[in-house]
Amino acid sequence: MPEPTAPAPEAAPTSVPKLELRNLSMSYTDRKGRTVHAVDDVSLSMANKPGTGELAVFLGPSGCGKSTILKAVAGLLTPDFGEVLIDGQPVSGTGRDRGMVFQSYTSFAWRTVRQNVEYGLELQGMAADERKARSLKLIEQVGLKDFADALPRQLSGGMKQRVAIARTLANEPKVILMDEPFGALDPQTRWGMQSLILDVLRRQDNTVLFVTHDVSEAVYLADVIFVLSHRPAKVLHRLEVPFFSSREPAVKQSPEFQRVEAQVLDLLHSLQVQGNVRVGL
């Protein structure tokens, strides 16, 4: 297995990147009033790939700053230094060009599946017939055609997360941010959701930032994996995931998939050893 190296500076893009982070540094105040330096000088970009989109995964230790970066891209947190750009334009606050899917289920309990998916479209003032047509198409794409009129309490965890994904896609965001969206699901449901997300997002031509702690999930979903350091987060490695001829779950047993998985595990193991030395364990 080739020895992994730190990422080299990226070549000048042939077009404006879909998403770019420039020298992003962030801190916050914890519950005890202490300043926590969460992100340190993070720079990365995701290409504009019309017709295919791109999915990037963040891997790194718990609490290293992955979610903080996502919240900066979403406009929920303001960087101390640096900037986030979408299509070359600086991000300032939240906007419909970005959508976020959290680990926790965020549906409105009193609204049906269809009404939940249509929520953002209602806020935009879209006509009822148009938003119904769009919502029903998405509901079918995420496999909930027979549950359009169900309430969230009637759904399983995986089904609730499908609603959250459909609601996000309904607004047609340029960038989708997914913060461990399948972390609370059982393994079988999780595998199904991984296949679903590949199918739906590719058809929607989305650019996606995805946070997970599951290495197999990262290799299965990602076009590129960013390995982050202990807090404050820095990008230690950028790994391009090879194109797999099949994205069926069985590909996880292939030698090529397992080679990439082993490479990522080695990187994370090295990072863990460095962290233990750093704190004197």
Beta strands in 60-195 (DSSP E): 81-86, 89-90, 98-101, 175-179
What whole-number distance in Å separates Cα of residue 71 and Cα of residue 48? 21
What whole-number distance in Å separates Cα of residue 37 and Cα of residue 19? 23
Q: Is the pLDDT of residue 128 over 70?
A: yes
pLDDT tens for each residue of 7-33: 444 444 448 889 999 999 999 888 888
Give the highest mean pLDDT range of 13-17, 38-42, 270-274, 275-279. 38-42
The CATH H-level (homologous superfamily) assignment of domain 14-93+210-281 is: P-loop containing nucleotide triphosphate hydrolases (3.40.50.300)
The one-letter code for the residue type at 36 is V
- What is the pTM assigned to this prediction? 0.84
What whole-number distance in Å separates Cα of residue 187 and Cα of residue 258? 19
**Residues 57 and 212: beta-carbon distance below 8 Å:** yes
Residue ranges of domains in the chain:
14-93+210-281
Task: Label residue 270 exposed, middle or buried (CB < 10 Å: 0-12, 13-18, 19+).
Answer: middle
Report the run of H or E that residue 163 belongs to, with start and end: helix 157-170
pLDDT tens for each residue of 224-243: 999 999 899 999 999 999 88
Report pLDDT for 274: 64
